[in-house]
Structure 1
Amino acid sequence: MALTYHDVRPLLRARYASPPSRPLQEVVTIGRQVLALHRRDVRALADEFGPDVLGPWADRPYGAYADAFLREALGVIQLDVLDASDYEGATVLHDLNRPLPAELTQRFDAVIDGGTLEHVFDVPAALRAYMGMLRVGGSLFLSTPANNLCGHGFYQLSPELMHRVFVAERGFRANHVALVEAVYPGIELRPARRAVAVVDPDAVAERVTLTGRRPMMLLVQAEKLVHHEDPFAEPPQQSDYAARWREGRGHELRSSRRRVPLSVRAVVRGWRQRRNGSLSNKRFYRPLP
């Protein structure tokens, strides 16, 4: 698990926001995080937040555990590390496949997952735990594979899932759901590539698809508005299906009036889907603030 430029930037923005957001005084990282900033990343952060924001970490930004950085750069007072094993010095032992213990409920101002969720078999249980550990007003910072990293973990996850999970009826607001281009086999190996915000599929009434040759990481920052004991008491549903159910319409295969051969229609449809799934599609993908 590693904190790259696109993980560190929203943390610094939360810390130095004007007006200030809730102080990140009590924080838990999911797994022990390593700092993975390259020199170009350091320069970009210095340009945005000031030359002193990284402090001594500007000279040693890559490869060390991020504990001290989180305390010094973010003002974290109490930092815990949650893991299923203590092999990396975790302070809180908990298997995210299991129900969240009562003593961890509403305990933290921030939950930081820099690459654990895809390795947990029971993803809903893990998300429920992340949501439960936060105090009202706290924030989740999450990074997980979205595409072209098959085999890295159990799963690659969709932006649609995050847009359906972090909504007001579950007590959350998604401040951003984004995709970041990466290099194989891990995003920490090179300086930051481009990032784009992903539109909510429900807002465009269409599936927001993704194509491309490079690995893609999914980044989420979500704020807790209200505490629910079980935010998934009513489970999320994919937006396009939910719309069809509400409208009472089915899905029918359309026949071509011009009798275009099926093979030609398949090629055209495939080309359209690749075009829609490209990061250049501004209906789906927009500049990340």
Structure 2
Amino acid sequence: MLDIATGEAIWLAIALLAGGAVTGLLAGVFGVGGGAVAVPILYELFRILGVPEDARMPLCIGTSLAIIIPTSIRSFQAHRHRGAVDMSILKVWAVPVVLGVVAGSVIARYAPADLFKAVFIVVAGFSAIKLLFARDSWRLGLDMPGRPLMLTYGGVIGILSSLMGIGGGQLSSLFMTFYSRPIHQAVATSSGLGVIISIPGTIGYIIAGWHVAAQYPSVAALQPPLALGYVSLVGFVLFSITSVITAPMGAALAHKLDKKRLERAFGVFLVLICLRFTVSLVH
């Protein structure tokens, strides 16, 4: 059993359920898997539970990828039902994205903990800049690039997403809007990437972290049945309960609310998370 007080365990469970609700809502609104929300919440949770620093960040990322599975499926179904998903882009990206996720999982087996934080800071920071300061004139082209460049982008999205614990929605939405695709189409299409990334990513992190239970036998949060490799089953279950419920709500809101205000709010949140992980790196 975990060596924490009953009251603390209750608050942790409430935090996970609340985090899942926010994660699902953001998954629908922004077409993201919610990893940018899940990872920092899980990081604080696993810190309280005494998970060692070198295992904490990969455990957050692997758990986040598992959480993204039901969230992204529900979000994708909701957006596809509205006819907003560009399936031709997903078909081009499917193979290179999966290969990138596999490569990221291999890196996760051997990389130091600080690498995951650095990737999170860089990618989330760049996304925040786009959300807070981008103008309509920020364009790389008027149409999507050719197949070779699309395949390259797909591989990069897969690697970065698997090292950051996200469903790829932030990166692909960023990419598509830079090539003049409407934001609603970018959001809807990006929701499909979460499915492609999260399933192989979760399997990869289970394998990558298979050694960690034996390495830290006294840390209950890393032992089966509470965890499999770098995937916390407790975090997955509690997050999934509420995220699956709120993901369709977010998809509905995406077509009704002021996107600019929502994007600015999410951008501020990403800045705060970047600062949190930067402080962690420094200390």
Both structures adopt the same fold (TM-score exceeding 0.5): no
Larger-Rg structure: 1
Q: Report the TM range for the smaller structure's normalisation.
A: under 0.3
Higher helix proportion = 2
TM-score, scaled relative to structure 2 = 0.25
Higher strand proportion (structure 1 or 2): 1
- TM-score normalized with structure 1 length: 0.25
